[in-house]
Amino acid sequence: MSLMVVSMLISARIAWVSHLMKGLDKGYIVHKWTGIFSAIFVVGHFLMENVPHWLVESGIINDPGELTDASHFTELEIALFQSGVTLVQPAFYIMIVIVVIALFKKIPYHWFRKSHRCFPVVFLIAAYHGATAQLKESWLGSSGSFLLILILLIGSAAAILSLSKNIGASRKVSATISNIEVHEDGILDLRLTTENNSFNYQPGQYAFLKFPHNDEPHPFSIASSDREREVLRFAIKRLGDFTSQLPEHLHIGQTVQIEGPYGEFQFNDHCEHQVWIAGGIGITPFMARLDYLANTQKKQSVNFFYSTRSNKDESFPLSLEQSCALSGVNFYHFNSTRKEYVTVDLIKSKVGNLRNTSIWFCGPAAFAECIQRGLKSSGFNMSHFHYDSFSMR
């Protein structure tokens, strides 16, 4: 039950919980594993409860008879206990289905999202079972009972928050689409103007966007700095069904709901030097930081390595090199189709040693793993490696 509650709290996108997890993206990794281990323990509990009955029914072992005396329980206590057991049986099977759908990425994302909507209901049933199960053998009233009830109440509050669709309610603002551009490489350059309230964020953070044609919010990095809080820029690449079809559904003047900001990828550290590494559409948080540096005249020692599948003069955004020059950032571009790859050895050849250096990475997961392996083998302090993961499964 504790693992389920942790999972529920992370999915509620509570600010202090996300900060504790070093970012919502890291929290989703914990969310994934708490779900997996919850399922393992639930299956274990189910088997321990049912295997003895199956063995008796199959004649493998003798029926030991009733092991407890239920004569001192009231009819209400027995009814409550039995109702919890009855309700949790189908909830068990639903939970297993939810976990299986989450683990198999070949199952479409929209099925993953729809199945996850059922989990708060499953949790509430499991919480009811956990509370009423204490009536058995008179556990209710013990110190362990009070702790369990506290855990169940916290989880139930998170479940109700989810079911009422109030997750992130205090972080939501409405915005209007003020500009739409689709670049030749398929990147949607979108600008949103907030309607009533300014949207306070730091360069490098991201937000969830909910568009009129789709009820599900999707996370995207903010590609602008905070100098104009009323205008936010997003660069969205076609990576799946949703993002591929997005330009067809949008037009200027539409209302979009923004929820956020989220993320600890804010370029804040005490190192003398920073190395930025971007792959493809991972350029977006760096666009925001470059915009911030250029407009605040803040000086920072930065070497920026950008890897794309195109030439420098064809890569999004076309003004990137100019932005780096205005910001005083040393810029290096690499075309992977020409077998120009960003490696730790290459970075060292350009920068020198990585002492008192922090590395900020945004790009494909395989690219991140390659860089991390190189850094670990070179003895780099991995606490200075910063990386946001947008994998929601």
Residue 242 and residue 280 in one domain: no
Cis ω on the peptide bond leading into residue 317 (within 30° of 0)? yes
Q: What is the pLDDT of residue 48?
A: 93
- Spatial contact of 115 and 97, defined as CB atoms under 8 Å apart: yes
Residues (pLDDT < 70) of the chain are 67, 69-70, 226-229, 390-393
Helices (H), 226-364: 241-249, 284-296, 320-327, 344-351
Predicted TM-score (pTM) of this structure: 0.84
Residue 267 lies in a domain: no
Residue 156 and residue 183 in one domain: no
Residue 20 and residue 151 in one domain: yes
Residue 329 and residue 189 in one domain: no
Measured CA to CA, the distance from residue 183 to residue 283 in angstroms comes to: 15
Per-residue tokens: 283: 């350029």
Residue 47 and residue 136 in one domain: yes
Q: pLDDT tens digits, residue range 131-179?
A: 998 887 778 888 889 999 999 999 999 999 999 989 988 899 999 999 9
- Spatial contact of 376 and 292, defined as CB atoms under 8 Å apart: no
386: exposed, middle or buried (Cβ count in 10 Å: 0-12, 13-18, 19+): buried
Measured CA to CA, the distance from residue 135 to residue 80 in angstroms comes to: 8
Q: H helices then E strands: how many in the chain?
A: 12, 11
Among 262, 292, 327, which residue terminates a domain? 262
Q: What is the pLDDT of residue 367?
A: 95
Q: What is the pLDDT of residue 199?
A: 85
Q: pLDDT tens digits, residue range 333-354?
A: 999 999 999 999 999 999 988 9
Among 262, 288, 322, which residue terminates a domain? 262
Measured CA to CA, the distance from residue 74 to residue 4 in angstroms comes to: 31
Domain that holds residue 328: 273-387
Taking CB atoms within 8 Å and a gap of at least 24, the contacts of 94-101 are 94/118, 94/122, 95/38, 95/39, 95/42, 95/119, 95/122, 95/126, 96/39, 96/42, 96/43, 98/122, 99/35, 99/36, 99/39
Q: What is the pLDDT of residue 161?
A: 94
Residue 392 lies in a domain: no
